[in-house]
């Protein structure tokens, strides 16, 4: 049995599509738990381990679950379970700029090192790198006609503060094909959404980011970042990352093979 703990009980399309269960067959029964909202279920599992076989495997991720007090308690509970394996798949650090919490949680690296296997989506020294598994989504392969020079793709709770008639969309859309059609319609994408940035780069777009969290500064592809007031100069330095999607998919396929050897 596989328990996948990630942010599943939300509108954020990036969180929803960050589970490897969407893209790979593990040949086992699966259970999905929201890593925050289903914390009581995690605790019940922790207290009633006799209800779970020791062959159970836990996959944590993907998404920005590390270095974030919102998820720290759940990750600690999951790591107390006596199971066959605990695997972190494409998780990332996500300390928000307004947090007054020391970065990085002391438990974060120790949990990763004690796991059966891990890959983080951040480019960090002494961490094993694995980009978000949503790169495997087939919609990213679609070709689109360019009808906008620039579009804005913004976080559902944090609007991009640019006053203009530039077309914009929020990341709470349920239909992924519409998001990809929107991002694919432009040469440039301005965004403060991690996955909006990621998917746009995988589609060969030039991207500018308005960051609000450590997840942006740790992004693996070089991307111009700054304030809305700097947008003109940021757009001038944006560039295309050739073959990014193949690179990310190859890493995830290799990781999947390692996971299958463990479970």
For the record, the structure tokens of 118 come out as 């891990």
Whether the Cβ atoms of residue 208 and residue 228 lie closer than 8 Å to each other: no
* Range scoring the smallest mean pLDDT among 1-5, 51-55, 222-226: 51-55
**pLDDT-derived band of residue 184, with 50, 70 and 90 as boundaries?**
very high
The pTM of this model reads 0.92
Q: List domains and CATH numbers for the chain.
A: 2-135+248-262 (3.40.50), 136-243 (3.40.50)
Q: Is the pLDDT of residue 161 over 60?
A: yes
β strands within the chain, DSSP E: 2-6, 30-34, 57-60, 63-66, 85-93, 117-120, 148-154, 168-170, 186-191, 206-209
Q: What phi and psi values does residue 92 have, to the nearest 5 degrees?
A: -140, 160
Structure-model confidence comparison of residues 58 and 100, the more confident one: 58
Q: Measured between alpha carbons, how far is 250 from 166 in angstroms, rounded to an integer?
A: 35
Q: Would you state the pLDDT for residue 70?
A: 84
Residue 222: HSE in the Cβ half-sphere, 13 Å Cα cutoff: 6
**84-138 pLDDT, tens digit each:** 999 999 999 887 665 555 555 556 788 899 999 999 999 888 899 999 999 999 9
């Amino acid at each position: 049995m596989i328990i996948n703990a990630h942010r599943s009980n939300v509108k954020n399309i990036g969180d929803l599509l960050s589970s490897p269960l969407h893209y790979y067959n593990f040949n086992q029964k699966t259970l999905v738990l929201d890593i925050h909202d289903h914390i009581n279920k995690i605790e019940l599992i922790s207290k009633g381990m006799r209800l779970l076989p020791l062959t159970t495997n836990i996959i944590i991720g993907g998404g920005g679950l590390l270095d974030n007090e919102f998820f720290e308690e759940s990750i600690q509970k999951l790591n107390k379970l006596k199971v066959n394996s605990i695997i972190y798949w494409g998780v990332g650090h996500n300390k928000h700029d307004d947090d007054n919490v020391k970065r990085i949680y002391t438990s974060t690296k120790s949990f990763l090192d004690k796991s059966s296997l891990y890959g983080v989506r951040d480019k960090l020294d002494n961490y094993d790198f694995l980009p978000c598994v949503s790169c495997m989504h087939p919609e990213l392969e679609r070709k689109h006609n360019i009808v906008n020079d620039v579009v804005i793709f913004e976080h559902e709770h944090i609007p991009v503060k640019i006053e203009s008639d530039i077309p914009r969309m929020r990341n709470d859309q349920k239909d992924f094909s519409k998001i990809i059609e929107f991002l694919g319609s432009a040469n440039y994408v301005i965004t403060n959404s991690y996955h909006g940035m990621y998917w746009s780069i995988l589609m060969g777009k030039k991207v500018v980011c308005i960051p609000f969290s450590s997840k942006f500064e740790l992004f693996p592809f070089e991307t111009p970042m700054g304030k809305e007031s700097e947008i003109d100069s940021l757009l001038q330095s944006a560039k295309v990352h050739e073959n990014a999607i193949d690179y990310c998919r190859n890493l995830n396929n290799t990781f999947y093979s390692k996971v299958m050897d463990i479970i």
